[in-house]
Each structure stands twice: as C-alpha cells, then as structure tokens.
C-alpha cells in the first residue's frame, strides 16, 4: 500500500467533517441580513433669486423666482393669496387685513391660538420675534417641530393698523424627516419675505 492511499483517506475524512459545518455557516450568513434604514428621494433644490412682489395695495416684499403668487381674492377689506411652490409641492397661505382701532391684540391672539391648535401633533413650538423699526414691521415666526400640517407660520404688523399672516402647508401627508430639506429651503424664503416686507403708504 503506497503512502498516497492514507493521505487520500485523510482528505476525504476532513472534507466529510467540515462540509456540514461550512453549509451551516453559509445558511446562517444568508438568513441574517442587516435591515437598511428608511431612505427618501433626493430633492434637487435650485438656488433662489428674488424679485420684488409689489402689485398688492397695502404692502410689498421680495419673492423667490421659484415661487409664484396664486389665487388672489378679496373679501371686504381682507386680501387672501397663496405663494405656490409647484416643484416642491408646498404653499404659503397668506392674508392681509387693515385693522380697526383696538382689534390688533385680538387678531394676534387668534393667530397664536390657531398655531397652538397643532400642539397635539407638534414635538415643540418655537416662537421667534422679529422687528424692523425702520420699516415699522414687527411680528412673530412660529416653527413647529414634528409631523404637523403647518410647520411654519408667521404674523406681521405695523403695531397700529395693519395685519399680515402666512402659514406654510405641504400637498402631502406631513413627514418631518422627508420634508426637512424642503422646509429648510422654504424657511429661508420666508425669512427673506419678512426682512424685505414693507408697508405701502
């Protein structure tokens, strides 16, 4: 009997021993997979340029070239319109109202209550006060965190006789994670609207 015979027998024995172990390890490796985190479609956000939007009777402001004023209507002295972002599926609902003497505080409180109707869904509500004494523009911006219907709202006034309100809404069911980059983008536009806002005399 040659030396090769025992070597072949030994190899066959090792293969028979290790083959079931290798198959078991392979099966376990295939059955256990790491779940992938939820992802969202990438949204390309174009850089914004701004132009004056001054065809309203009582005020003017700077508006992004990627937004458009839509659905202008009037009821009594109040003006309603939407600032529409078609590509981003979002809209800022706006209203403007000359205020009768003594009614400004009431309107401000009503707007604040409207914001806090979202408190049940909001994780937090941040109030940011704004003021531009040179243009006589004062107000509050409300940032609502979480899956809320309207994540940003704001009011502006001359503190005497005019009142402007805006509220941002998306066309789809709110999801704070997926809309975060779009919300940040539109919030910058809202900041430009507020900083450029001016009453007409």
What is the three-class DSSP state of 193?
Answer: helix
Q: Are 174 and 182 in contact (CB under 8 A)?
A: no
Residue 92 tokens, joined: 């800022």
Whether residue 101 is contained in a domain is answered as: yes
- Looking up residue 66, the CATH number of its domain turns out to be 3.40.1000
Q: What are phi and psi of 200, to 5 degrees?
A: -95, 140
Residue 35 lies in a domain: no
Structural domain span for residue 62: 50-199
3-state secondary structure of 176: helix
Residue-wise pLDDT for 98-110, tens only, equals 888 778 888 899 9
Task: Note the pTM of the prediction, 2 decimals.
Answer: 0.77
Establish if 62 belongs to a structural domain: yes
- Give long-range contacts, CB 8 A cutoff, 24+ apart: 64-67: 64/189, 64/192, 67/189
Classify residue 34: in a domain, yes or no.
Answer: no
Domain count, the chain: 1
Residue 13 has a pLDDT of 47
Tracing tokens 């809202």 back to the chain, one arrives at 190
pLDDT at 146: 92
d(CA 192, CA 62): 7
Q: Is residue 22 part of a domain?
A: no
Which H or E element spans position 108? helix 104-116
State the pLDDT at residue 36: 44
For the chain, 201 residues long, give each residue's pLDDT as a single digit of tens.
555 555 555 455 445 544 554 555 445 455 444 444 444 445 678 888 999 998 888 999 999 999 999 989 988 888 999 999 999 999 999 999 988 877 888 889 999 999 998 888 889 999 999 999 999 999 999 999 999 999 999 999 999 899 999 999 999 887 888 889 999 999 999 999 999 999 987
Q: What is the pLDDT of residue 38?
A: 46
Nearest to 151 by CA among 159, 143, 161, 139: 143
């Amino acid at each position: 009997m040659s030396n090769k015979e025992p070597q072949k027998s030994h190899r066959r024995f090792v293969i028979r021993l290790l083959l079931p172990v290798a198959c078991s390890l392979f099966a376990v490796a295939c059955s256990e997979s790491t779940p992938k985190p939820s992802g969202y479609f990438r949204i390309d956000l174009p850089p914004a340029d701004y132009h004056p939007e001054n065809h309203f009777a009582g005020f003017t402001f700077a508006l992004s070239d990627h937004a458009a004023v839509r659905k202008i209507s009037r009821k009594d002295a109040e003006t309603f319109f939407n600032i529409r972002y078609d590509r981003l599926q979002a809209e800022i609902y706006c209203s403007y109202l000359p205020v009768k003497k003594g009614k400004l505080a009431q309107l401000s409180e009503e707007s604040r209550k409207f914001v806090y109707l979202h408190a049940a869904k909001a994780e937090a509500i941040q109030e940011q006060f704004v003021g531009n004494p040179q243009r006589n523009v004062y107000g509050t911006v409300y940032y609502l965190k979480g899956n809320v219907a309207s994540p940003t709202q704001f009011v502006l006034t001359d503190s005497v006789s005019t009142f402007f309100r805006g509220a941002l809404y998306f066309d789809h069911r709110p999801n704070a994670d997926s809309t975060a980059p779009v919300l940040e983008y539109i919030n910058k536009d809202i900041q430009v609207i507020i900083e450029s806002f001016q009453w007409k005399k």
